[in-house]
């Protein structure tokens, strides 16, 4: 903290501030520009954005509402969902890391064994019960997200109950205890659509701090010999549709996930296939 080259990423309610007028870079602070930190964590070491290119240490600091509004109006605080796709790899990685750790620190203030307050150690990466020594580490919840296609190479997209009716995305869900990733793919798709799939193939992953997910992308094919009429559960998923590439490209009323999400990257990859 005494190093003049330390750069601090300020986080408030999962949001941060930008430094550039075109909205493509995170604003970093020196220690003297922020209040004495109560919740902070080490984010790593890397090159400082800009002309200097100096190697610096990065910290994340969680601000109170009062401190955040003193720095900038609420309208200037931007979420990862809004800005993620326009950030550099360094800025995006630091922001995901900072928001993830901020969420963890907010939800794990007390020992799950005794209820005693936990204290932060190891630069904010471990919380410990000072009396019995119990250590609590950052939590990650694995979730699968799936590009489901049929024999005609149509894609299955669903509309969540929490979204507007014309917003569609891939089906996804959390991995349950004792379950493999492939089993989670088959279970979640059948639960949410009534369609059985097989041949789950891993595509890639994305850290998604809402609040602590690791999204694991797969593709799978609907099994032949079944009724492929989608049957949404009516609770979580209200609408399910098969789309060809031509239909999805032509229907401008359909809203797809934001470009910062793995869901959009997977849909775009399918659209680009011949």
pLDDT in tens, 217-232: 999 999 999 999 999 9
Domain ranges of the chain: 7-107, 111-139, 141-272
Would you state the structure tokens that stand for residue 231, as one six-digit string? 């049957």
The average pLDDT across 154-168 equals 94
Would you state the structure tokens that stand for residue 74, as one six-digit string? 């609420």
146: number of Cβ within 10 Å: 27
- Give the 3-state secondary structure of residue 103: helix
Would you state the structure tokens that stand for residue 134, as one six-digit string? 């119990």
User: From start to end of 63-118, where are the E strands?
Assistant: 78-79
Sequence-distant (6+) residues with CB within 8 A of 271 are: 245, 248, 249
> Do residues 59 and 74 touch, judged by C-beta distance below 8 A?
no
3-state helix, strand, coil in the chain (%, to 5): 25, 35, 40
Task: Scan for tokens 């203030």, then name that residue.
Answer: 109
**What pTM value is reported for the model?**
0.89
pLDDT in tens, 174-200: 999 999 999 999 999 999 999 999 999
Q: Which CATH number fits domain 141-272: 3.40.640.10, 3.40.50.720, 3.40.50.2000, 3.90.79.10?
A: 3.90.79.10
């Amino acid at each position: 903290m005494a190093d003049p080259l330390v750069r601090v990423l300020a986080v408030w309610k999962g949001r941060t501030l930008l430094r550039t007028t075109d909205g493509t870079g995170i604003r970093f602070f020196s220690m003297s520009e922020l209040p004495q930190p109560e919740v902070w964590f080490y984010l790593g070491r890397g090159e400082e954005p800009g002309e200097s290119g100096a190697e610096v240490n990065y910290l994340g600091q969680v601000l109170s509402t009062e401190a955040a509004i003193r720095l900038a109006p609420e309208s200037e605080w931007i979420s990862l969902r809004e800005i993620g796709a326009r950030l550099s790899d360094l800025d995006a990685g630091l922001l995901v890391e900072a928001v993830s750790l901020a969420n963890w620190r907010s939800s794990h203030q007390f020992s799950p064994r005794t209820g005693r307050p936990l204290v932060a150690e190891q630069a904010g990466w471990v919380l410990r019960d000072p009396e019995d020594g119990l250590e609590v580490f950052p939590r990650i919840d694995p979730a699968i997200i799936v590009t489901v296609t049929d024999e005609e190479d149509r894609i299955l997209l669903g509309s969540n109950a929490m979204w507007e009716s014309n917003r569609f995305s891939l089906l996804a869900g959390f991995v349950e205890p004792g379950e493999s990733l492939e089993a989670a793919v088959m279970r979640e798709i059948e639960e949410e659509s009534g369609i059985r799939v097989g041949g789950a193939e891993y595509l890639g992953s994305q850290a998604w701090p809402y609040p602590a997910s690791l999204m694991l992308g797969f593709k799978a094919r609907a099994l032949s010999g079944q009724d492929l009429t989608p049957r949404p559960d009516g609770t979580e998923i209200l609408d399910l549709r098969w789309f060809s590439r031509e239909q999805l490209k032509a229907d401008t009323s359909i809203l797809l996930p934001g470009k910062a999400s793995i869901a959009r990257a997977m849909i775009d990859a399918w659209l680009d296939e011949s």
